Amino acid sequence: MGNTVEELAGKYHAAWTALDVEAIVALHTEDSVFHLHGVTEPATGHTSIRQTITALLRLVPDLHFEAKRAYLGPNHIVLEYDMSGTVGDSPFVCDGADVIAVEDGLVARKDTYLDLAAYQRQVGPLPKLAIGV
């Protein structure tokens, strides 16, 4: 039996907090979609999702999430948080929200929305993520 929505939310948050790429990917369905809106094209499937997360962590190796609120339903999770880290020598913090569709106890789709205007005021223009490198 798969994870309950509550178990998945806890495990997924823990995996992102630990920056454990393999644990994050393992909590996605095989055909899952991860879309970091305004930053990347949608990543579909474990390989593409792994490459996108790895590229993000290369850019922001000290990525951190401070949870604010979670809303759980039978087939979804919505998380609100502050995301912070350092790009080059520039620290940043911005609001974030994830809308997650759940199927069989795993992430079927994750749409991430960030306050990119706040990020750009602190760090500058968004760099292109080197996905698949």
Q: 108: which 2 tokens?
A: 């079927």
* pLDDT recorded at residue 20: 98
* pLDDT recorded at residue 1: 56
CATH T-level topology, domain 5-123 = Nuclear Transport Factor 2; Chain: A, (3.10.450)
Summarised one tens digit per residue, pLDDT across range 90-105 is: 999 999 999 999 999 9
Average pLDDT, the chain: 95
The residue type of 113 is Y
Q: What sign has the CA pseudo-torsion 17, 21, 23, 24?
A: positive
- The domain limits of the chain are 5-123
Q: 40: which 2 tokens?
A: 């990347």
pLDDT < 50 stretches in the chain = none
* pLDDT recorded at residue 130: 72
Q: What sign has the CA pseudo-torsion 8, 112, 50, 65?
A: negative
With a CB cutoff of 8 Å and minimum separation 6, the contacts of 26 are none
What single DSSP character describes residue 91? E
* pLDDT recorded at residue 53: 97
Considering the entire predicted model, what is its pTM? 0.93
